[in-house]
Amino acid sequence: MPVKPYHHPAAGWGALKYVAINLLKERVSGVNYKSLFAQNQPDGFDCPGCAWPDREHASTFEFCENGVKAVAAESTSKRVTPDFFAAHTVAQLLEQSDYELEQHGRLTHPMVYEPASDKYVPIAWDDAFKLIADELNALEDPDQAAFYTSGRASNEAAFLYQLFVRAYGTNNFPDCSNMCHEATSRGLPGTVGIGKGTVTLDDFEHADTLLIFGQNPATNHPRMLGELRECARRGATIVSINPLRERGLERFTSPQHPLEMLTLSSTPISAMFVQPRLGGDLALIKGVAKRVLELDDRAVLIGVPRVLDPDFIAAHTVGFSDFARDLRTEKWALLVEESGVSREQIDRLAEVFIKGQRVIATWGMGLTQHKHSVPTVQMLSNLMMMRGQIGKRGAGLCPVRGHSNVQGDRTMGIEERPAAAFLNRMARVFGFEPPRHHGYDVVATIGAMMAGKVKMFVGLGGNFAMATPDTPLTFKALQSCALTVQIATKLNRGHLIHGRKALILPTLGRTEIDLQNGVPQGVTVEDSMSMVHISYGLNKPASPALLSEIAIVSRMAEATLGRRHKLKWQAYRDDYAVIRDDIEKVFDDFYDYNARVAKPGGFHLKVASREREWATESGKAQFVPQKIVLDTPIRRARAKHGQRLLVMMTTRSHDQYNTTIYAMDDRYRGVFGMRRVIFINQQDIDMLGMKAGDWVDVESAWDDGVERRAGGFMLVAYDIPRGCIGAYYPETNPLVPLGSVADGAGTPTSKSIPVLLSLAAAS
């Protein structure tokens, strides 16, 4: 049976065993062990695993299964060479699974697509850049090109990329964060003024209460569990708010603590599990806020200490009375129904929240990939503001980002809706007028490709074809392009779904030594808590033909822009410190950039809201009331299809990194050797007249006339609220309608897709 419950604590021996097997396998192919122990060291590289910060850029090796997998995947000795491409047509490669494609190893040479043979053949770097330049310069309008970024690009690479693209003339910057924490970046500015988290790791040492919304840290941010373990042992109360009881939030054995490992003991993490229905968090948080207000009313009445923080509200906020009025008029029945959480449990959560003197709220994709994710993020800041839980030690907002430099890339100006002040600064520093009109994000880019408005695509990393919604449609969009350019470390399906002309440009990974004129170069990254630090690769490059991302971007720029602008591309790639000097000229908070990143651990980038400075229109933190909207696609679909209509979330298994499939297991959820599963409540299985283990097909219930199906998933009975199901991405992306996005953020709603199940045609 491929599915069995996992009764062990998260991490611990299970994780170590995985790593041992992994290393043994890789030993044969010559992985650089030292590299595993050098990640996040003061003179080593930043872990490409995730954006969770590390202590002091740790002085001891901090064990993390996710990091080990990411590093091992990058330092594999397997190679995708010109011979490999000569042996396979693109059509043949498309037959392989994402897992198989990943296993072929590192790309070694720049390759160009040859239609006659349906193969990628080698191309000289200069010719590749000339091809890009010719195509870009042949477009009628720079807005016909789109420039994607995935969140591993360094600050320096991202900065040069946006400089090049803006000098070329467009703001078309689709970015992986459009599919990720965009709701955070769009929501928080409206309440606290800046779209970043307000805490640092130090705050975790002082928090007494932690609310963990919509995250699976055991898999996605394992080092976060180390912090939660310390919090739990100190007696802090941890609440998991998640439709699933994720294993890592139940019990955790720390690989950092040999005694726990040897005695097979573990630390219980969450004291309380709240299991809202998918997308129910807005109503749940609003319910908690309403209860907090009720308890405050009572406190005033009977003359005991206030529950609200009236001093904070008076000194630091605006809009409280409108917000409170909306809370008072909201109906409990609606909040209970929409959240899927009982009134008793909402009250209990409110009790935990008000007992906390120092509360941290963290969140991940469970909050951001819904239609109303911006209101949800704003409601969470409203709640925290009610008790002044922002901008003091041990308390605050903590969005947990994904890719290791996704936050830094946005800081560097990867932004399709750039602020005027930033553009003014760019104009002043670089002496050209950047485009002012807004560009396309991810979803808009796909739409523009379909409409023939975008004809050229450049991807700085990532896997645009597979990470995005509506897969068959997105494939067509990419295939309609005149040229697609993929700058990548490893082969993925996105390289095989290409335009009429296509390039694959292989690049150095962060773990590799980046020599320019014989001098090793460091790059910088910003983690989820706004710590900026430098990263030096330690491994020998996978191939002598590789160029760094910075070299690729600057040579692409030189070839395209020629003498049009006096930008110093050559100087930038000769010495990355020169790029940092120019970054500092554009962003004041990066003053003394080179000196400050030279210090071990780097520096903390100022986050105004952390200091209780509010960069909002009013100059204060703003309470923003949020309505529970009743006319939603899910409700409409349910009205049409009744209780057979299920809401699906698409999530990550333990053995994948986004679209990269490392292996086929999802250990903590007890799934082994397969990915095509659907987690579903047993009562829903009964309701459908099916059995656990049945194979089903899934169809989206979306009324735009497009049929969206994905076939062949096994039903797994699971502790998940009624009406909700879960499955893995990217296999389920064909079911996510392109038009289904978060209001105000454009994020595909990949955690709430209305679907119908039927027994699989083949069963």
Ligand X SMILES: Nc1nc2c(c(=O)[nH]1)N[C@H]1C(S)=C(S)[C@@H](COP(=O)(O)OP(=O)(O)OC[C@H]3O[C@@H](n4cnc5c(=O)[nH]c(N)nc54)[C@H](O)[C@@H]3O)O[C@H]1N2
Those residues with Cβ within 8 angstroms of residue 490's Cβ, 6 or more apart along the chain or in another chain: 73, 74, 80, 102, 104, 105, 106, 107, 660
Q: Which amino acid, 132?
A: I
Q: Which does 339 bind (CB under 5 to 8 A by kind): Mo ion, ligand X, none?
A: none
**Could you tell me the smallest distance in angstroms from the CB atom of residue 278 to ligand X?**
4
- CB nearer to Mo ion: give 104 or 654: 654
Q: Which among ligand X, Mo ion, none contacts residue 652 (Cβ within 5 to 8 A by kind)?
A: ligand X
- Using the minimum distance from each CB to ligand X, give the nearer residue, 508 or 688: 508
Q: At residue 253, what are phi and psi to the nearest 5 degrees? A: -105, 125
Nearer to Mo ion, 388 or 402 (CB): 402
The whole-angstrom separation of Cα 202 and Cα 56 is 10
Q: How far is the CB of 215 from ligand X (least distance, A)?
A: 4
Size of the site for Mo ion (CB under 5 A): 2
CB nearer ligand X, residue 601 or residue 734: 734
CB-wise, 73 or 295, nearer to ligand X? 73
Q: How far is the CB of 722 from ligand X (least distance, A)?
A: 14
With CB under 5 to 8 Å by kind, the binding choice for 219 among Mo ion, ligand X, none is ligand X
Options 179-187, 415-423, 694-702, 717-725: segment touching Mo ion (CB under 5 A): 179-187
**Choosing among Mo ion, ligand X, none, which partner's interface includes residue 407 (Cβ < 5 to 8 Å by kind)?**
none
Residues in contact with ligand X by CB under 6 A are: 50, 66, 150-152, 176, 179-180, 213-216, 219-220, 241-244, 246, 276, 278-279, 281, 364-366, 369, 402-403, 460-464, 467, 487-490, 492, 507, 509-510, 549, 649-652, 656-660, 729, 732-733, 736, 750-751
Q: Please state the closest distance from residue 196 (CB atom) to Mo ion, in A.
A: 15
Q: Is 439 in the site for Mo ion (CB under 5 A)?
A: no
* Residue 216 touches which of ligand X, Mo ion, none (Cβ within 5-8 Å per kind): ligand X
Q: Of the candidates 105, 319, 356, 402, which one interacts with Mo ion according to CB under 5 A?
A: 402
- Nearest CA-CA partner of 146 in 488, 411, 469, 486: 486
Can you point out the beta strands (E) in 97-190? 106-107, 111-114, 119-122, 145-149
- Mark residue 689 as left, alpha or beta (left: phi above 0; alpha: psi -120 to 50; beta: remaining): left
75 interacts with, out of ligand X, Mo ion, none, CB within 5 to 8 A per kind: none
User: What track of x and - describes contact with Mo ion for positions 283 through 322 (by CB under 5 A)?
Assistant: ----------------------------------------
The three-class DSSP label of residue 752 is coil
Partner touching 657 among Mo ion, ligand X, none, CB below 5 to 8 Å by kind: ligand X
Calculate ∠ Cα 21-26-27, nearest 5°: 95
| Under rule CB under 5 A, residue 217 binds Mo ion | no
Minimum Å gap between C-beta 141 and ligand X is: 26
Smallest distance, Å, CB 436 to ligand X? 27
222 binds Mo ion (CB under 5 A): no
Phi–psi pair at 22, nearest 5 degrees: -60, -45
Q: Tell which positions 345-374 bind Mo ion, by CB under 5 A.
A: none
- Within 10 A of 412 (CB to CB), how many other CB atoms are there? 27
Q: Least separation, in Å, of the C-beta of 122 and ligand X?
A: 18
123 binds, among Mo ion, ligand X, none (CB under 5 to 8 A by kind): none
> Site for Mo ion (CB under 5 A): which residue of 71, 136, 160, 180?
180
Least distance in angstroms from the C-beta of 479 to ligand X: 18
Which residue type does 51 have?
A
DSSP 656: E
Contacted by 197, from ligand X, Mo ion, none: CB < 5 to 8 Å by type:
none
Min dist CB 148 to ligand X, Å, is 7
Residue closer to ligand X, measured from CB, 612 or 652: 652
For residues 286 and 490, which CB has a smaller minimum distance to ligand X in the complex?
490
Taking CA atoms, 609 is separated from 189, 364, 471, 495, 636, in Å, by 10, 20, 39, 41, 39
Tokens of 690: 């099916």
Rounded Cα distance between 332 and 609, Å, is: 32
Q: Could you write out the DSSP letters of every residue in 480-529?
A: TSSEEEEEESB--HHHHS--SEEEEEEB--TTB--EETTEE--EEEE-TT
Q: Is 286 left (phi over 0), alpha (psi -120 to 50) or beta?
A: alpha
**Quick one: CA dihedral 279, 283, 286, 291, positive or negative?**
negative
Min separation Cβ 310 and ligand X, Å: 30
Q: What proportions of the chain, in percent to the nearest 5, are helix, strand and coil?
A: 40, 20, 40
* Contact call for residue 721 and Mo ion (CB under 5 A): no
Cβ proximity to Mo ion: between 131 and 180 the closer is: 180
C-alpha span between 438 and 417 (Å, rounded):
5
Question: Residue 166 Cβ, how far from Mo ion at the closest point, in Å?
Answer: 24
* Residue closer to ligand X (CB basis): 46 or 296: 46
Nearest-angstrom CA–CA distance, 90 and 493: 10
d(CA 184, CA 379): 11
What tokens does 175 get? Answer: 């970015």
380-407 b/e with 16+ CB inside 10 Å = b?
bbbbbbbbbbbbbebbbbbbbbbbbbbb
Task: Give the residue among 211, 2, 759, 106 at the shortest CA–CA distance from 488.
Answer: 106
Binding site residues, Mo ion, CB under 5 A: 180, 402
